[in-house]
Structure 1
Amino acid sequence: MDDHWPMVERRGTQLWASDLPFIIHGFNTYWLMSFASDGATRPRVTAAIAEAADAGLNVCRTWAFSDGGYRALLTAPFHYDEVVFQALDFVVSEARRHNMRLILSLCNNWEDYGGKAQYVRWGKDDGLDLTSEDDFFTDPTIKSYYKAFVEAVVTRINTITNEAYKDDPTILAWELINEPHCPSDPSGDTLQILNPLFFAWIEEMASYVKSIDPVHLLEIGTEGFYAPSAPELLPVNPDEYSGNAGTDFIRNHQAAGIDLASIHVYSDTWLPHSIEENHLQSVNAWMQQHIDDAANLLGMPIVIGEFGVSIKDGKFGNEFREAFMETVYRIFLSSWKGEVIGGGCLLWQLFPEGAEHMDDGYAIILAKSPSTLNLLANHSRNLNATDASALKRVQIPGQIKNRYV
């Protein structure tokens, strides 16, 4: 563990850690807090982080929420399970021990682990007149539930390290909500526009997080869909629904307090009937448009917060999945080397052995996937380019073991 770890900060379209540029070479393992709350599964948390660090990865995106239900962190509005909170403490401390930064997501658009649907259920239980899950974004009481939770997490004093989360450089960024959708308002105004009746959700919550923690980076967690406000960009979306999901990539990321432009890439579900070559072409078009917009319109780094291919139903195999991964890495690396933009990519998702029952089809177990492990290590080496000029432009915490060379 580095006891003098600098915070990662944004400078224009690039990320820096002290006097060195920082590139995200990351992964998702969403269930770390849940596994850490049980002594029987806690070793899987250490294994997941350690194996990724050994492969040269430097950032993990994971859930810092669990709303109601099994192993809930937020058991009811304003009420928290201390055992689960201590499990999150363990995740943060283990990440620090292995020089792994974290992106911590604070809520879910979907019902998995509670999400906005659970918040609305709590509101109904409290007598609120709510008609839609999208009331999560507008009802003042529901928003007060969310703000209280955010404050509890951001100001948490880690029981293992005795450091406040808001002061801990292990945390690279906070994420407001995983994949927000507001289909009741396809224009995107509910999430975006300020009006006399209510503050737009993104503006309000970004301002709130920054009022508590002005130091850490902040991202929204969007997939990157373009909205009717930019009709010329609607054809870039994977389908018609995407333009009516109630999010707006460009306007969302113009909100004050947002530091990172976040997108996801899932051509396997977005283009389910397309041939593999078309998938890779689609990935290229999707990423290039967002990179251009982040660099030229938003002036901020871009984070491909999730990208992956499911091999669960047999339509796609590991060979295509690796070609997909290489495409994502190549596009980003090319833009970074061209000094267009910084940020990075986070694979969905890496698992250690013993967690196979959680596999949604996207899980990669490095111990069983030597070719994928080599691919990840190669990307690490590309980021740790051996010539002196490149070494001055990138910082990847941790060392690649000789066995990956």
Structure 2
Amino acid sequence: MRVVRVLVVAAAVALTACTSPAPVTSTPTAPRVEANPSGVTLDGTPWWPAGLNAYQLATDWSVNIGCGAMVDLDSFFASLPPHSLTRFNAFDSLATNRVTGEYDFGPIDRVFQAAERHGQLVLPVLSAWDGACADEVFKTRDWYADGWRAPRRANGSAAAERGFTPTTSYEQWVRIAVDRWKDSPALAMWETIGEPEPLLSRDGPCAPDGHQVLRRFVDDVGEIIRDIDPRHLITVGTIGGGQCGTAGPEYRRLAESPYLDVLQYHDYGADGVPLPGDAYNGLAVRLRQAQEVGKPLVVTEIGQHAGDSPGCASAAQRVDDVTRKIDGQRRAGTAGALLWAFVPDPREAECTFDIGPDDPVRELLARQNRLG
């Protein structure tokens, strides 16, 4: 989702030492999550994951610049249905001490460790299209072409003022992250980047060679990941609605990459409609393209506003609409659904995508999440 909520903390927080718990060192003999043309499996059993986006899980105001509010990790994972899937931000900014500038993997380590304790699965996103909650630099065509290999410069008016001044490249972060967490039994798959679009500038047109640049990026990054971690699946956070690099048949050309195992679609603005979009870029088209290349498609973001604000859908109406949507998508052949987005402090008086700890839509997820 292209709006990220950042909590402003007025009170000072105590600093902790830049030490991190050791990552998981045991190596499973086989990947827990595997993909086939009809869906995904968990430990060899058919699995249709229904879960949440919880982008801020690695926020720790005593260590990093944060991305939204802090979350009680044990309470969160304990509240999920068994074998649920949670998508979260695993950016290098969240593994960097905002005072020393040195890596501190503790906040992300703790997400994996809490998920492991509660038998849950996670989908870490390694970067975002716009630099939100990280260097705050929008990624253009040149970044996808080769800029991702170069050391970065933070946007001084945003990220640097918050305490994050990156010195490594995206490529280096991918290598570090994959090597550190590849053996976690909670790891479902890797997401290279969320919602990529190789535009010529932030508000500019699509690069004429955008689809070629994006395909090469996915291939090159995927090859790096697979070289370090040959066991886990790889995905990329395509919106799927006709964006630059994935419009019409370009989506299929990207899907043909040998370094993409699971395809994605992000669903907003069509409340209660199972198969949104048109004949060129709708979800029905994407499902057909996924079938043609023999790969599963997960709707990794489903967002619907709800709240007590006048004219906004109620929480109960959102449950009805999302139920209709997921039921229809499942019948059409999707391989899972994740809602946008869990927050520990929902703004119930406003009209937002917020899904709090007690939101009734979470009961729907418990019913939809299936193993076997």
Bucket of the pairwise TM-score, normalised by the shorter protein: 0.7 to 0.9
Cα displacement string for residues 131-153 of structure 1 (whole angstroms, at most 9, x for unaligned residues): xx432212357457111100111
Q: Residues 166 and 229 (structure 1 numbering): CA distance in 2 closer, same or farther, change over 3 Å? A: closer
Residue 249 of structure 1 aligns to a residue whose secondary structure is helix
Quote the Cα distance in structure 1 between the aligned partners of 2:170 and 2:245.
28
CA separation of 1:379 and 1:167: change in aligned 2, threshold 3 A: same
The verdict on how the C-alpha distance between 1:38 and 1:50 changes in structure 2, with shifts beyond 3 A counting, is: farther
Aligned to 1:32: 57
Choose the corresponding residue for 1:325, options 299, 322, 325: 322
Equivalence for 2:198 = 182
Task: Show the counterpart of 2:283.
Answer: 287
1:38 Cα offset (Å): 6.0
2:322, 2:277 → 1: CA distance?
Answer: 10
- Residue number in structure 2 paired with 1:361: 352
User: How far did residue 230 of structure 1 move?
Assistant: 9.1
1:378 corresponds to: 367
Q: Which residue pairs with 1:253 in the alignment?
A: 255
Picking from 64, 73, 84, the partner of 1:58 is 84
Distance in 1 (CA, whole Å) between partners of 2:53 and 2:95 is 20
Consecutive unaligned residues of structure 2, counting only runs of 5 or more, are 1-26, 152-168
Worse-superposed segment, 258-267 or 179-188: 179-188
- 1:262-341 aligned within 5 A: 262-267=264-269, 282=276, 286-295=282-291, 297-311=292-306, 314-317=310-313, 318-335=315-332, 341=333
Q: Distance in 2 between matches of 1:298 and 1:346?
A: 23
Q: C-alpha distance in 2, partners of 1:109/1:14? A: 27
- Match of 2:177? 153
1:136 corresponding residue in structure 2: 143
- Kindly state the Cα deviation for residue 228 of structure 1 after the two structures are TM-superposed: 8.7
Q: Work out whether residues 116 and 136 of structure 1, in 8 Å CA contact, stay in contact via their aligned partners in 2.
A: no
Q: Distance in 2 between matches of 1:60 and 1:261?
A: 16
Mark the CA change 1:187 to 1:253 in structure 2 (over 3 Å): closer, same or farther: farther
Percent of residue pairs bearing the same amino acid type: 21
After superposition, the C-alpha distances for 1:263-299 in whole angstroms (9 at most, x for unaligned) are 100016xxxxxxx67x56636983322222211x221
Q: How many angstroms does 1:355 deviate by?
A: 6.3
Quote how far apart the aligned CAs of 1:19 are: 2.9
- For the Cα contact (< 8 Å) 2:141–2:207, is it kept in 1? no
User: Do the aligned residues in 2 keep the contact of 1:64 with 1:105 (CA within 8 Å)?
Assistant: yes
Which residue is equivalent to 1:45? 73
- Report the secondary structure of 1:175's partner residue: strand
Counterparts of residues 2-41 of structure 1 (less than 5 Å): 7-35=32-60
Q: Indicate the SS of the match to 1:257.
A: coil
2:240 equivalent to 1:224: yes
Indicate how the Cα distance of structure 1 residues 117 and 193 shifts in structure 2: closer, same or farther if over 3 A, else same.
closer
Residue aligning to 2:159 = none
Which is helix-richer, 1 or 2? 1
Q: How does 1:184-223 map to 2 (within 5 A)?
A: 184=200, 186=206, 189-193=209-213, 200-223=216-239
In the TM superposition, what whole-angstrom CA distance separates every residue of 1:186-225 from its partner, at most 9, and x where no partner exists? Answer: 267345359xxxx821111111111111111100111013
**Quick one: structure 1 residues 284 and 29, their matched pair in 2 at CA, closer, same or farther if it must change by over 3 Å?**
farther
Query: Counterpart of 1:350 in 2: which secondary structure?
Result: coil
Q: Distance in 2 between matches of 1:280 and 1:331?
A: 5
Question: Aligned partners of 2:329, 2:217: CA distance in 1, in Å?
Answer: 30
Q: Please, what TM-score do these two structures have when normalized by structure 2?
A: 0.72
Give the whole-Å Cα distance in 1 for the aligned partners of 2:36 and 2:76: 31
Aligned partners of 1:263 and 1:305 also within 8 Å: yes
Residue 80 of structure 2 aligns with an amino acid whose one-letter code is A
